């Protein structure tokens, strides 16, 4: 890194790919050196591990100009910065402290404001408050402007509120489906698509419709449908629509899940690295996604380094769902890096400290990794003890009807009984086969089962080879 341009280089490294696309579309710069600086910033924004150095021979004032230009363009497009402005002006109106300069800007905005703007609802409500402010001061001429705006946009405002309410009800159904898997939400698809592609709807509702559609498609594993709505939003971002860094990071995190499920791990890792570039309240969620991809690509050391660097973030978080995800990844990563003693101590402490919350979300993933750890450490008695202490067999049995649920906890328990001398090999074989016959596995589920068998094979290579052959040859429909 060139120290002479360190401040500018550090600034340019923060530019995101979709910001770069928008900046290039907004570029009207005619100075060749300034334009080359901007183009280099945008090219570097697409990369992670390589970048082009900036030319130190160019006048530093041109770098200062580009830095200011980029910041100005992004701030003008930033919907969250606009929300801060609206909230500030609302406070000024409500407290009777709005200045003449602030009023002039507000009146100018009323003249040009569009109902498709991201925070149209908020602006409409601000204008309503401002009209009340004007009326009690007998400023009838300005009231004509506010009254005209309110009348012209009333229908759009009412529809915006109605859509917001409907999306809220869709959200309740979709989140309920995510946790219970017992509710049908397909009827929301057509309505949400209508909102997403409605060019007359405010941006916030459009983006919320997109997020709910992603939720729906992920719930039903319809990833190609999800890709289409991602591509639509992707193009919106490149044109500076619905843009804020917060929104982009959320979008990148969701693309990680999309590409991971499409088995496109390189793209998944690319977006995962993008998503963790900024610290915010969702950092732990983004971090968990990145670690999951690194583990799928067997980048075990890199995953461990990342988790270790962010351990304080994990400890300070109040999001029990994401804390459980971090703990699960940490146990798995420590095992892969042969840190079994550390993993066992951590898992035991985590269970004790989070015993009130551990069964709220996806507990099976944590416990299956914990039991894998104990199996790898050759502690079958501990596997049996933990399984019984937390009623894990009963809990997993309650979920056996879920599609593609591999009964891993049952397998660890049965294997531990064999290793502990309580089962014969024939009984172990019989129990494992019976558990799969009771499961609801399709082709994808059988692939997961084979992967799981491969991971367990270290304990009894010949036995699990025989078991795998049995499932491959079987004509049963699981």
136-169, pLDDT tens digit by residue?
998 988 999 999 999 999 999 999 999 999 999 9
pLDDT the model gives residue 231: 95
Burial degree of 57 (CB within 10 A; 0-12, 13-18, 19+): exposed
pLDDT the model gives residue 8: 93
103 is written with which tokens?
Answer: 């009023």
8 is written with which tokens?
Answer: 């500018």
Distance CA(139)–CA(452), nearest Å, equals: 74
Q: Which residues contact 257 (CB under 8 A, 6 or more apart)?
A: 218, 289
12 is written with which tokens?
Answer: 């340019």
56-81, pLDDT tens digit by residue?
999 999 999 999 999 999 999 999 99
Taking residues 216-227, report their average pLDDT.
94
Distance CA(278)–CA(447), nearest Å, equals: 36
pLDDT the model gives residue 475: 46
pLDDT the model gives residue 245: 93
Candidates 400, 408, 394; CA nearest to 366 is: 408
Q: For the chain, what is the mean pLDDT? A: 92
HSE, CB side, 13 Å, CA atoms: give it for residue 9. Answer: 12
pTM of the model: 0.81
HSE, CB side, 13 Å, CA atoms: give it for residue 409. Answer: 24
- Enumerate the H helices of 136-279 as residue ranges: 140-152, 154-180, 188-196, 203-219, 223-238, 245-261, 265-275
Burial degree of 32 (CB within 10 A; 0-12, 13-18, 19+): exposed
Please, which pLDDT band fits residue 105 given cuts at 50, 70 and 90? very high
Candidates 72, 46, 109, 9; CA nearest to 240 is: 72
C-beta separation of 137 from 115 below 8 A: no
Please, which pLDDT band fits residue 1 given cuts at 50, 70 and 90? very low
340-386, pLDDT tens digit by residue?
999 999 999 999 999 889 998 889 999 999 999 999 999 999 999 99
Taking residues 229-240, report their average pLDDT.
94
pLDDT the model gives residue 268: 95
pLDDT the model gives residue 181: 65
C-beta separation of 439 from 478 below 8 A: yes
C-beta separation of 437 from 478 below 8 A: yes
Taking residues 270-294, report their average pLDDT.
90
* pLDDT over 70 percentage in the chain: 98
At residue 135, does pLDDT exceed 70? yes
385-404, pLDDT tens digit by residue?
999 999 999 999 988 878 78
pLDDT the model gives residue 3: 58
């Amino acid at each position: 890194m060139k120290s002479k341009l360190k401040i500018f280089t550090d600034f340019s490294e923060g530019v995101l790919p979709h910001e770069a696309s928008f900046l290039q579309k907004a570029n009207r710069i005619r100075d060749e050196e300034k334009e080359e600086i901007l183009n280099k910033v945008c090219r570097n924004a697409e990369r992670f591990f390589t970048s082009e150095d900036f030319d130190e021979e160019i006048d530093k004032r041109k770098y200062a100009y580009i830095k200011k230009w980029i910041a100005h363009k992004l701030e003008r497009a930033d919907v969250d910065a606009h929300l801060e402005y609206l909230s500030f002006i609302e406070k000024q109106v409500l407290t009777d402290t709005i200045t003449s300069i602030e009023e002039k800007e507000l009146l100018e905005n009323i003249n040009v404001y569009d109902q498709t703007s991201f925070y149209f609802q908020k602006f409409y409500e601000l204008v309503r408050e401002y009209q009340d402010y004007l009326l009690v001061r007998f400023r009838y001429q300005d009231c004509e402007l506010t009254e005209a705006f309110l009348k012209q946009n009333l229908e759009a405002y009412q529809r915006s509120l109605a859509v917001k309410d409907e999306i809220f009800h869709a959200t309740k159904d979709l989140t309920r489906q995510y946790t219970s898997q017992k509710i049908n939400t397909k009827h929301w698809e057509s309505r949400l698509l209508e909102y997403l592609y409605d060019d007359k709807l405010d941006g916030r509702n459009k983006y919320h419709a997109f997020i709910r559609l992603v939720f729906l498609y992920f719930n039903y594993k319809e990833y190609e449908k999800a890709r289409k709505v991602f591509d639509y939003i992707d193009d919106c971002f490149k044109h500076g629509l619905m843009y804020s860094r917060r929104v982009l990071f959320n979008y990148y995190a969701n693309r990680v899940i999309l590409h991971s499920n499409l088995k496109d791990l390189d793209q998944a890792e690319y977006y995962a690295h993008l998503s963790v570039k900024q610290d915010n309240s969702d950092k732990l969620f983004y971090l968990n996604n990145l670690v999951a991809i690194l583990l799928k690509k067997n980048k075990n050391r890199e995953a461990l380094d990342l988790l270790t660097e962010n351990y304080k973030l994990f400890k300070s978080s109040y999001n029990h769902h994401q804390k459980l995800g971090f703990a699960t990844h940490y146990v798995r990563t420590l095992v892969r890096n042969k840190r079994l003693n550390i993993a066992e101590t951590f898992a035991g402490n985590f269970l004790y400290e989070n015993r009130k919350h551990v069964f709220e979300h996806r507990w099976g993933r944590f416990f299956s990794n914990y039991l894998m750890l104990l199996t790898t450490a050759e502690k079958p008695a501990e596997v049996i003890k933990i399984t019984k202490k937390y009623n894990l067999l009963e809990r997993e049995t309650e979920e056996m009807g879920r599609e593609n649920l591999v009964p891993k906890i049952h397998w660890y328990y049965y294997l531990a009984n064999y290793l502990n001398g309580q089962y014969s090999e024939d009984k172990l074989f019989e129990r494992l086969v019976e558990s799969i016959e009771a499961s609801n596995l399709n082709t994808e589920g059988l692939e997961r089962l084979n992967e799981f068998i491969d991971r367990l094979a270290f304990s009894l290579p010949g036995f699990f080879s025989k078991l795998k052959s049995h499932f491959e040859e079987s004509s049963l429909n699981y």
